[in-house]
Amino acid sequence: MIAKPILIFMALSLVGVLLASFFLNLSGLTTLDLLSFSISDKISKMTSIGFIGFLIVLPFVGGLISATPKILKRSEAIKAILVGSIIGAVIGGIVFSNLAGFMWPGIFFLIGALLAIHLVYMKQKEIKEWVGPRLGFASVQRQMMLVALGLALWGMITIIPQQETFTQNFENSLLHMTLPVGEQSLSANDTLIESM
């Protein structure tokens, strides 16, 4: 039988990951948006209520990790946080179809959670004051660093096989961005020439 504190931490991590998945899905941001060159679309999605909610909820699991040393043993914390997070990620991936492309960052988030648990238990013995906030910051920092690494790896895996396509899209987007300015400057020059 699983102890009650383990079940509580498991349920909290599951809820945290599900809430983060919900808010990321609500924002409408997909991995393809991250590769597009439409800055206005990215800005509108990254300033939406859904994405802001995602940014607020995402560090919740890191905060849970920083609270585990006072209540659970290291092995219990690993079991509670990872099992809850994995179940939450699987349910989120099934329920929210926009999140299918975020598999690599999700895997690195889970690896980051595992490393953060080990880090928190190690640092707990070293830190003398402001233990809770410093442990929380350290665990969230490691997780977000690994999420960024997962995004970079995903980007390389996605872009390298299709490098020609992305190069062409980039050139077209640059041309599209400068074309209205070029047309405006041509019409201004025509007006200037006509007035002479």
Summarize pLDDT for 126-181 with one digit per residue, the tens. Answer: 777 776 777 777 777 777 787 778 777 777 777 777 777 767 776 777 666 666 55
**Is residue 72 in some structural domain?**
yes
Look at 115 and 139; give whichever has higher pLDDT: 115
Q: Measure the CA–CA gap between 22 and 96, rounded to whole angstroms.
A: 7
> What's the domain range around 13?
4-161
What pLDDT, on a 0 to 100 scale, did the predictor assign at position 18? Answer: 92
DSSP string, 51-74: HHHHHHHTTHHHHHHHHGGGTS-H
| Contact partners, residue 130, CB within 8 Å, separation at least 6 | none
What percent of the chain is modeled with pLDDT above 70?
82
- The amino acid occupying position 117 is I
**Is residue 187 in some structural domain?**
no
pTM for the model = 0.72
Domain count, the chain: 1
**Is residue 77 in some structural domain?**
yes
Look at 194 and 169; give whichever has higher pLDDT: 169
Locate 68 and state its tokens: 């585990």
